Structure 1
Amino acid sequence: MADLAVRSFCNKRRSTAYAYRGFKGTVIAKKIIIQAKGELIIAGVLEEGRLVELYWHDPKRQRLEGNIYKGPVVDLLPGMNAAFVDIGTRKNAYLSLKDWSGPEISEGQEVVVQVVNEGNGQKGPRLTSQITVPGRYLVITPFLEQVGLSKKIDDEAERNRLLAIAQKLSLLAPTIGLIIRTAAEGMDEEALVADFQSLLIQWQRLKEKAENLTAPALLYQECLLTEMILRDLVDDSVTEIDLNQSNLYEEMLCWAKDNHLCLQGRIKLFEGCDFFPLYNLCQQIEKALAPKVWLPNGGYLIIEKTEALTVVDVNTGRYKGAQNLSETVRRTNIEAAEEIAYQLRLRNIGGMVIIDFIDMIDEDHRQEVLTKLKEKLARDKVKTEVFGFTALGLLEMTRKKTRESLASIFVDKDIRKEYHIDL
């Protein structure tokens, strides 16, 4: 019956097939595993059998990113062009006035804001007033009138088709902006209309809460982990979703049915299965928590995070090469570029990143390494930007900060013990 429930929604996608492709057009198949142990849920994304992303839900640790709050401005600092807002967390949240879109702000004023960064032990959460409410195929921007389209949709005919649908949708709510997500590629108009109407209902409920609740108050909470996976991660490249708990399995099937997502033949239940030893996840996580990362040729990386940025140092290590120094350096740096893109994604490192590749005299070798890095970063759903080499030969790049890092979950000794993670 469960398969029948989702089968009727598989024809919502138009006949044109769209597969997720890498930098050079190679199809990259992915598998998602979701494991529940008690109240803790951990989900992993595998590419070619290798863990590339890890997500988790722990009810003991409140997740803030994406949540929308109503809170009073408790401190206004014109000299820092910033305000601090009480949203009910241990530390007041930081709002840069560059991110404030309303009229002039004042101390004591109640504002509606969204968390864009969780913060850490020293800093509170970071806020924006540019509210976004995401759906499966669309994102609405209630305070910004716009019609946008994901840059990852590159087929010109498909872009024009989706933009035409977006223009129609904007007439239903002229004061609310919308952005079409990558997942909308190939979907029919009916699915997009349903998603837009659902988001408008969510926004109306949020506004009613803002009018009636006393600040500080939570107005909108980011969805459950299983819903987030279906909404943000599942596309045509995901060939299989494995779960070990029947409740989660049924929840995901229901959400897929309500949101026109076809899971036929892809979602599988393995009741009570422990996926960690099956996919050697413990060893992969342990390596991702260590500062030293060995490369296949015998070279290695040192990854160190500071308060301001992350530094990656590339070394030849045990690799001596077979031809000449220039070729030894080139091969080591190319392997390093591939591994760095992978490590940033798995460790979920955000912010500024400085990479100290081994010095390259040949400009063609530099460009080859740069191209390889961009090719591998193209697999990452998180926005990255590569700025190139500085005069000192250091490569500068950024990766958007999203959710907590991999290391943060395994700070908890109980979780490390539960999953046999040794640091």
Structure 2
Amino acid sequence: MQLTEKIQLSGDHLVYLPNSNYVAISHQLDHEERECLRKEIAGWLRTPEGIIVRSKAGRKSAAVLIRELNQLRSEWRSLLKRSAAMKAPGRVCRRLSLLSSILNENHRPESCTVFSNIPVDNDEKISAGVDMIYEPADNLFAVHDLEKIWRSVEQPGVPLPKGASIAIEHTAALTAIDVNTGSRVVGDHWEEQALSINLDAAREIGRQLRLRGIGGMVAVDFLRLHKHENRDRVIDELERVTAQDPATVKIFGYSEMGLVELTRKRTRREAADRN
């Protein structure tokens, strides 16, 4: 539990800050799109309002964003009116439910399926694209065969197709990821096979970053590639798989030592810290 005077009201595309007086825009949008949104949205705000723009706002029209902003303003006015009529101490607004917190953590996806063994409050606002399925089971992880996946985050090794693997090691300074050929045969066609392994590794690394909640600095030792265009393909694949990550991921490319460097914003405790 955290006490703060920085009030935030969350919508599907915007987070309304009634008293913060600044504009922040997701770094998952490109620079040109961010600057365009910044100029446009700044004209909609009234002092001392502020706004945080989610990444999926970039695909929406100004009319959609203005409508959501006005809805959040209306919600804020209702809270002020309610608080003025209350006798302290009292609860003006309840905190987000677990469902809303999870959706917010994942930047409120436009469509997804949520399985729950707890009935959801019918009064709770849920995006139209969220399909709620109630399953009265004691262990949903077991029902949907997720226990094995969850236990796998405790292991440093992650298998890749055809015998290759990646090894993930956490240190105080950074997370190191090493790509190994394993039993996968490499011979005269090293470049071709190394590229294939690296592309598989890039896809799995994007998945593991989210699954393990890895944050901070990450250094990846991909298999050595001699052709510049093949190294570019690895970076392109890594950018593609991390583009949908709710946390901001910045990829800095290959270093002089041949390591791929990236950072991921910390949003929760890493799985390694919970063991």
The alignment's TM-score, normalised by the length of structure 1, stands at 0.53
Is contact 1:256-1:262 (8 Å) kept?
A: no
Please give the alpha-carbon distance, in whole angstroms, between the structure 2 residues aligned to 1:328 and 1:231: 40
Encode CA deviations 1:133-163: one digit per residue, 9 max, x unaligned. 2512432456653345546568x99x97997
Q: In the superposition, relative to structure 1, how do residues 139 and 394 fare at CA in structure 2: closer, same or farther (>3 Å)?
A: same
Q: Secondary structure at the match of 1:145?
A: coil
Between the aligned partners of 1:298 and 1:164, the Cα distance in structure 2 is 51
Residues 150 and 279 (structure 1), Cα distance of their counterparts in 2 relative to 1, 3 Å cut: same
* Cross-structure match for 2:10: 135
Greater strand proportion: 1
Question: Residue 283 in 1 paired to residue 152 in 2?
Answer: no
For the residue of structure 2 that corresponds to 1:256, the secondary structure is coil
In the other structure, the counterpart of 2:69 is: 192
Match of 2:236? 371
Equivalent pairs counted in the alignment come to 260
Supply the distance in 1 between the matched residues of 2:233 and 2:95 (Cα, whole angstroms): 40
Larger RCO (CA within 8 A; separation ≥ 6):
1
Query: Is the partner of 2:236 in helix, strand or coil?
Result: helix
Is residue 256 from structure 1 mapped to residue 125 from structure 2 by the alignment? yes
The alignment's TM-score, normalised by the length of structure 2, stands at 0.79
Q: AA paired with 2:199?
A: I
Give me the whole-angstrom Cα distance separating, in 1, the residues matched to 2:250 and 2:134: 38
Q: Is residue 394 of structure 1 aligned with residue 259 of structure 2?
A: yes
Structure 2 unaligned residues grouped into runs of 5+:
none
Q: Label 1:229 to 1:370 Cα distance change in 2 as closer, same or farther (>3 A).
A: same
Question: In structure 2, what is the equivalent of residue 362 of structure 1?
Answer: 227
What amino acid is the match of 1:359? Answer: R
Deviation at 1:392, TM superposition (A): 1.0
Separation of aligned partners in 2, 1:188 and 1:395: 37
1:302-355 residue CA offsets vs partner (Å, 9 max, x unmatched): 100001110001110100147512222111111111111111110000000011
Q: Is the 8 A contact 2:195 2:230 kept in 1?
A: yes
Query: Which aligned segments of 4 or more residues in structure 1 are displaced greater than 6 angstroms?
Result: 159-163, 200-206
2:116 and 2:133 in contact (8 A); partners too: yes
Q: Which runs of 5+ in 1 are unaligned?
A: 1-63, 70-111, 113-130, 207-211, 214-219, 412-423
User: After superposition, where does 1:106-185 map in structure 2 within 5 Å?
Assistant: 131=6, 133-137=8-12, 138-141=14-17, 144-150=20-26, 167-168=43-44, 170-171=45-46, 174-182=47-55, 185=60
1:339 to 200, 204, 210: 204
Secondary structure of 1:342 counterpart: helix
> Matches of residues 240-319 of structure 1 in structure 2 within 5 Å?
240-246=113-119, 249-250=120-121, 253-256=122-125, 261-262=127-128, 266-272=131-137, 274-319=139-184
* Alpha-carbon shift at residue 241 of structure 1 (Å): 2.1
What code does the residue aligned with 1:335 have?
A: D
- Contact 2:221-2:260 within 8 A present in 1 as well: yes
Q: Could you give the per-residue CA deviations for residues 6-43 of structure 1, whole angstroms, max 9, x where no partner exists?
A: xxxxxxxxxxxxxxxxxxxxxxxxxxxxxxxxxxxxxx
Relative distance call for 1:393 and 1:190 in structure 2 (3 A) is: closer
8 Å CA contact 1:256–1:263 kept in 2: the answer is no
- Spell out, residue by residue over 1:381-407, the C-alpha distance to the aligned partner (whole angstroms, 9 max, x if none): 100101111111011110001111234
Deviations 1:97-153 (A, max 9, x none): xxxxxxxxxxxxxxx6xxxxxxxxxxxxxxxxxx57251243245665334554656
Q: What whole-Å deviation, never above 9, does each CA across 1:356-383 have from its counterpart, x for those lacking one?
A: 1112111111111111111111121100
